[in-house]
Structure 1
């Protein structure tokens, strides 16, 4: 599925970080069939190039890539390395030949992961400084998150570099992404930097949750419980990962960009109210919507239901479930939409709405419990 009007410009040597992950994998799945890209280098954590190839191919298969595309990835495409230990790969001579970078690697955990700061800030900054020295570098697209701005509830948010203090961030992940944006600009003013801030990335428009169940389980969890902290009329700004990947490639290819920061989002028109999500989820599960019985409650009410969690969700860690409910409940109450006008002005088409592909997400998660699905976001 094409999400922008045409192929834009030739990229010589593209470096992608995070290609064994959700978003980076989607970027690579699109890039390997793009005739405008001459060569691709992939930063991969592995003990050998052969192991790196296996990891990349296994991830690409989740995105529906055919075997002839998988076979395009070989050991020449692999740069062994880990942003947690950037010094180990920064002297590789191939980095000096790179013309374009899509930096999607990050520890995208909403848990208390000790690697968040080491990877997302310290290791990334070392990598950025190295790439800023490359004389032929044309574009460095860094993937942040729209939530790093700590938006005000009920607003349509436009792009800004205004930074909120750490105590206003709900999780360390968004604080780390906000911090690295500022550090890149301060330490590497010569870097041809573009910051892409995706909104909430859920599923794939064709493959559903086969590539990753990230975030999707939250909707199932709330609807199974029949109560949550948001209103059914609140909206949420959701995009599929393949749309986000296409937008990143568009930002990488465009020769002239007038802005430093771009949202990749559903925008005001494409954001979806929870009542529509309920109806679409119910239709996919062949059940009745819960809108007539749904209760908007505060967190204390959810705590009272903890003894019912194992009955509703199966074997689970009640404390972790409550933590997830509190965290995602606060996000769901924001009713925030992120303006996508700047991206659409570049020729990007509006994204599919979440309800347009939610049935694929349901089908690909049908055989998994909520505790199984949520592991990806609390690693």
Structure 2
């Protein structure tokens, strides 16, 4: 059996103080710039200064927050037609925010414009309307952050936030990034998560909402933040659904993992459902329920239709070296779905774990 590593989520007080000081120094001049649609409230170009309050563009260097707060009213179909938000290496990127007062939908697309917009975090407050980036045609280039960092996309609204298939993500400054989808609301991501312009990114899912993926991509190990060193994905909370595409997990460390549920000592109900002909491959350790809960919560993996997951190693119910954790859950294969493991398989790996593997229909599991 391969050696295992524990995952620790805590940070020391000195590290926290350092991070706080750095954050203050970086954001001391950041401002919130509100959309007003220009003199007649009919403007549609986010790259035009007069369409923002005070006729001032949000800065991607400071960085500022571009905010929509319900004025003007009505659904907004906006464009990005120039390069004012491209920024340069090291610019963090602007934040996008829909407040609770922005009850109408906001959509942004670049049309034929190939210049990138540099974005850091996205937030939808409870009560906000739907946000859509891209429209499924041409290419909407978005650069994430200015260096190795976490981009947090939060949706607390009941309306789904959508990242369309034409959105092409680049990773600012290269390095290791984390895409953290979170909130009580849902995210739909049809963009291919292959990431242009170098760098690599891991996926981190928190919050009670549902994350739906369909565009495929290449996930790679993330930075030490969120304990993602050597991990391509941690689906920690809520539900994740993969409806299509091939997601290749490019691990560069021996113990890299794709984690479904876990890293919690108390535990949260977590699920991954893989549908249609979606594929997850290149996984070193597929870990379900890693350290997740004390038996009252579950980590579940379901494969439907002709979905395929291939991994070198499988772990169901490892306690992450926490003897108080007793992970529980089920792996269910339906229809003609396939789970293929080539090297090592552990079911109910740790003492007290309660896991089962169910095969229905013409599904198949090959376990080493």
Fold match (TM-score > 0.5): no
* Largest Rg, 1 or 2: 2
- Structure having the higher helix fraction is 1
Q: Tell which has more relative contact order, 1 or 2 (C-alpha 8 A, sep 6+).
A: 1
With normalisation by structure 2, the TM-score equals 0.26
- Structure having the higher strand fraction is 2
With normalisation by structure 1, the TM-score equals 0.25
